Each structure stands twice: as C-alpha cells, then as structure tokens.
Structure 1
Amino acid sequence: MSTAPVLLAASMQACAQRIAKLTQSIKNTRHLFPLTAATAATMTDDDEESLDALILRYSQCVSMIQDQVFRGIAYLEQEDISDKSNREKSLLMEKLGVIQSAEEIGTAAMLRNKFSHHYPDQSEARIARINLLAVECQIVLGAFDTITVYLHRKGFSWAS
C-alpha cells in the first residue's frame, strides 16, 4: 500500500493547523492595517510580535502548500513533478482544478521570498510588502479552501 495518501493527509492536517494560526494572526493584526511609516514607528512590542507572527505563518502556509500539498496531490494524480519548478507545479495544479490561479500562488511565493530575504526595518518598501499581506493572506486562505474542496470532490478525506 502506498504511503502517499497518508503523507498527503498528514500534510493537509499540518497545513490546516497553520491556516488556523494564520487566521488568528490576521485577526490580531487587523488594527495595524494599512500600515504607514508613522504607525510603524509607534507600534508596540506586542504589535511587532503579532506582525512577525503573521509574516511567519503566511510564509509557512505558502511553503506547505507549494512543497508538501502540491507534491502529495501530484502523486495521487499520477503526475511526475520531480523535475518541475514551483511555477510549473502551480500551473499543473491550476490545470487539474486544485487551485484557481497559478499566478496568485506565484505572487504569494514571491512575497514570501521577499520577507525571507530582507532584514526587518521600517523602510517604505517593507511597509508596502506588509500591506500586501492583507490581500495575499486572503488569497492563501482561499487557495487552501479550494484545495480542500478539490480533495473532497476526489473522495480524499484527510480530516481526523
């Protein structure tokens, strides 16, 4: 018996937990948006911690969807993605009907990459990236919902 369904179920459960934490972080930081240079300068330590948690959870969700969930779905669909880039995997997932937009997942990944390769500061560029989170988090939440619907439609149950 293949371990792929078990691994996909574990990936979906782990991703669902991260999605729940992301949702909580969105609620905890809602009052900070839209962020400006002036409001960034007056953020409390708790606000900064909450914003850091939002960025971390967003990044984790994007990575889990791209690296674990897409791989598990591709295996179940008997698609070889071993030599595919993340962009190609996203395009395949769009073609299969797993996600609505490969472009949106690509944009989410680019934002994740920008956060992981820049040091925390209050520059205008960083503030603009943080403000993008308000939109991009909703896209990631929507993508996870679409993935869940796809898996249920395929008869794959992962919830415990």
Structure 2
Amino acid sequence: MMLIRELFKITDIHQKRIIFSMDRLANIFPISVGKIQNLSEQEFLLIELLTTRFSKLQDFMENKIFDAFLNQVGEQIEGLTMIDKLNKLEKLSIIENSSLWFELREIRNHISHEYPDNPSATAKYLNQLYVAIPKLLSILDNIKARIDF
C-alpha cells in the first residue's frame, strides 16, 4: 500500500488543478445556456480540466484516501461497505453527512457525460459542479488536518 504522504501528493495535484481552473472560470459562473454556446476554446479547455480533476479527485478519495485515513485513525474497515465508511467519516466530523458524498458522486456521474444536444443540461450540471467543488475540497482539507504525515 502507498504511504499516506504519497497518496496526498496525488490529491494535491488534483486540488491545484481544480483551483487553477476555478479561478480562471469564476467570471462565467453561474453558467447559462448562452454562455455554454459561446465558450472560448480556453474556457472549454478549463472546463474540461475542472470536470476531469473533480472526477479524479472524488474517485481517488473514495477509493484510496478514505481507507488510508480510517486506517490511520485506528478504525476497523475490513468488510465495510461504502456507506459504513461514510458513517465513520461523519462521526469523525470529516464529512457533513453521508448523503453529501452521494450527491458529489451523482454530480461526478453527470459531468462525465456529454450533452451536445442539450446545453441546458450541460449548464445545470456545470453549475452543480461549481457549487460542489468547495464541499469536496473541504472534505479533503478535513482529512488533511487530521493526518500524521
């Protein structure tokens, strides 16, 4: 298993790219159908970066970081379902509640699809993403604050 500091090097890369793209896209959010249809090439690429890094970070946290954190704080996780792990994270004040994580997962699932004939769906899911990003990064920060590197 990777050392926990190695795992967090990966999360740091994702987090930096998310913040980079969010900073450069702040002027287009909330995004509308009109804005979707008139994105510059640079804005489009930044949205691609944002959606990809959000998805990668959310997956990585779910598949690697949660287990590493729970192990480090002495929680028994063998055989636990994801909801059980989320409940432990909630009790440890890492995550507000388990339903938040499933909302983040649903957003990740939506943004992984293209909606070329439905710009209103694209705008809706990108706006949901923009609101969700601080929540995802807050969960990561909560874990980082409790980790012994």
What TM bracket, shorter-length normalisation?
0.7 to 0.9
Q: How does 1:92-107 map to 2 (within 5 A)?
A: 92-107=88-103
Count of residues in Structure 1 that have an aligned counterpart in Structure 2: 147
2:63 corresponding residue in structure 1? 67
Are residue 114 (structure 1) and residue 110 (structure 2) matched? yes
Matched, 1:21 2:17: yes
Offset, 1:94: 1.2
SS in 2 for 1:98: coil
CA distance, structure 2, for counterparts of residue 13 and residue 94 of structure 1: 24
Match in the other structure for 1:40:
36
User: Of residues 123, 127, 138 in structure 2, which corresponds to 1:127?
Assistant: 123
- With 10-19 and 120-129 compared, the bigger mean Cα shift is at 120-129
Secondary structure of 2:20's match? helix
| RMSD value, Cα | 1.8
Q: How far apart are the structure 1 equivalents of 2:122 and 2:141?
A: 28
For 2:105 and 2:12, the matched residues in 1 are separated by 18
* 2:85 corresponds to which of 89, 92, 98: 89
- Report if aligned partners of 2:37, 2:119 keep a CA contact under 8 Å in 1: no
- How many angstroms does 1:83 deviate by? 4.3
TM-score by length of 1: 0.82
- Structure 1 segments, 4+ long, off by >3 Å, are none
Mean CA deviation greater in 63-72 or 99-108: 99-108
- Are the aligned partners of 2:115 and 2:121 in contact in 1 as well (CA < 8 Å)? no
Cα deviation for residue 104 of structure 1 reads 2.0
Contact map agreement 2:90 2:97 (CA 8 A) in 1: yes
Name the CA distance, whole Å, in 2 between partners of 1:119 and 1:42: 16
Could you tell me how far 1:74 is from its partner in structure 2?
Answer: 2.3
Is this contact kept in 2: 1:98–1:150, CA < 8 A?
no
